[in-house]
């Protein structure tokens, strides 16, 4: 399975329309995330996507990218 389903309902849309909507979705992913991540999101299996996320995290760690400090609970106020 590539992606978890979003609903229990079966779609009533014709196949051709779904194919066109998927093209639009792919175009958006390419614009917003880049070609590589678009492939990760839309073409890889869930397991492959997890491996890619691990690679991204490890690469970020090796290059000293600090984890994001989300407000406010990852920070402390000064005394």
Partner 1 sequence: MISYAELERFYEGLVMKLRERGVVCAITSGMACVHYGVAETTKDCDLLCHSGSFNVLLDLLGETEISGHRCGYRGNLSPPLDARWHRGGWTSHFEWVAPTGALTLDVFGHALRESSPWPRDVFGLYAGPHTVAQMKRTNRDKDWPFITALGTRMVEADDERGWLHVFDANALAELLKEHDCPPDIVAVRPAIRLVQETDPRAAGALNAERKLWAEHDRLRIKILERHLRPYVSAVRRARAGRDLSLLADHAVRVECAGQHLPENPLRDYGLEKIVAEAKAGLVETGVLPESALTWLPDVMIYFKWLET
- Residues in contact with partner 1 by the rule CB under 8 A: 2-9, 11-13, 17-18, 20-22, 24-25, 27-29, 31-33, 37, 40-42, 47, 49-50, 52-54, 56-58, 60-61, 67, 70-77, 79
Nearest CB to partner 1, comparing residues 64 and 67 = 67
**Min CB(26)–partner 1 separation in Å:** 10
**Min CB(45)–partner 1 separation in Å:** 10
Tokens representing 23 are 């093209």
Q: What is the 8-class DSSP label of residue 51?
A: H
**Min CB(60)–partner 1 separation in Å:** 7
Q: How far is CA 55 from CA 1, 32, 35, 62, 75, in A?
A: 21, 20, 17, 10, 27
* CA gap 68, 22 in Å, rounded: 32
Tokens representing 54 are 């691990």
């Amino acid at each position: 399975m590539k992606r978890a389903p979003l609903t229990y309902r079966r779609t009533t849309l014709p196949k051709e329309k779904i194919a066109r909507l998927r093209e639009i979705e792919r175009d958006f992913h390419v614009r917003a995330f880049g070609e590589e991540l678009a492939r990760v999101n839309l073409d890889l299996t869930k397991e492959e996507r997890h491996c890619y996320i691990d690679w991204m995290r490890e690469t970020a760690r090796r290059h000293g990218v600090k984890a994001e400090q989300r407000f406010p609970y990852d920070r402390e106020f000064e005394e």
